Chain A
């Protein structure tokens, strides 16, 4: 009984250290998105390369697609960009760019400099659609299924590991799904 008393503080300490170790390995920037499993918000925005044309959610139903939020002022976007360019060459799914709070000229210059992986980019100059998608840190990447439901969200740059281990298997699975478009 007497020895047990000395073990109590030690046990408490070990539990505390356990919690701290888990806590230190969590990334506080990764806030779980409430949008996963929910229909993607409706939007309709002008194309970056041709503002006269609009692209909306309805135009993209019936296919699996990726939405990548980017901006020319975003430094971390440069980090993931070569990976996106490389991935787009394989033509697995269309990647749509949401050009977030950016100028048209700057954005187009950026794409000319670093390559354009996007099937099309749409301009969200006011960041309103960004708010609807719960964007708070550019770059962000969403995977949307055939029914227009958000199935995955990456906050911050997509890395090779995330692409290979998470996004690609998910895309394969989603493409196999029989998605009757469910416009919401």
Chain B
């Protein structure tokens, strides 16, 4: 009886060690200045990583993302504002670097297209419903079964 318990304990200990070991590996290095790091992160989530385009530079570990994060940090140390840093990035990489596209002429459809589509859909729905409400109740009776065509197979008789 003692042996299986020991085995179980050993397995449990191994599993615990494995679980504990995982987060230790993924933890990010401790920043020397947590406040600066937090400000940098706040800006980094607004900037697209151009190498892996569906990630922000905060999420990405691509070389360029690391460089840009360092650039943001350095500019923050120089006392630059968030606005200035974002402008610096757009001057070099264009609006595409912004994870949230700015509202302007060329992005109107992108921003308001979904709302527009919903309004069109709602309008169509209202129109259809209105037209139906004005119809006589007989209109909603099931259709008369069509006469089967001569060459159509005879429908199976359902005997139950």
Contacts and interface: CB of A to CB of B under 8 A. Distances in A.
Nearest to A31: B96
B67 A134 contact: no
B63 A136 contact: no
B64 A34 contact: no
A23 interface: no
A131 B68 contact: yes
Interface residues of A, number: 16
Given A101-B63, A127-B67, A133 B92 contact: yes
A28 B53 contact: yes
A35 B91 CA distance: 7
Interface residues of B, number: 15
A34 B95 CA distance: 8
Interface string A156-174: 0000000000000000000
A34 B92 CA distance: 6
A33 interface: yes
A134 B71 CA distance: 13
A3 to B, nearest CB: 18
B90 A34 contact: yes
Given A101-B63, A127-B67, A134 B51 contact: no
Given A127-B64, A131-B68, 11 more contacts: A29-B53, A31-B96, A32-B94, A34-B94, A34-B95, A101-B63, A126-B67, A127-B67, A132-B92, A134-B94, A137-B51
Interface of A: 28-29, 31-35, 101, 126-127, 131-134, 136-137
Interface of B: 50-51, 53, 63-64, 67-68, 71, 90-96
Can you list the 8 inter-chain pairs with the closest CB atoms, starting with the nearest? A136-B50, A134-B92, A34-B94, A31-B96, A134-B93, A127-B67, A136-B64, A136-B51
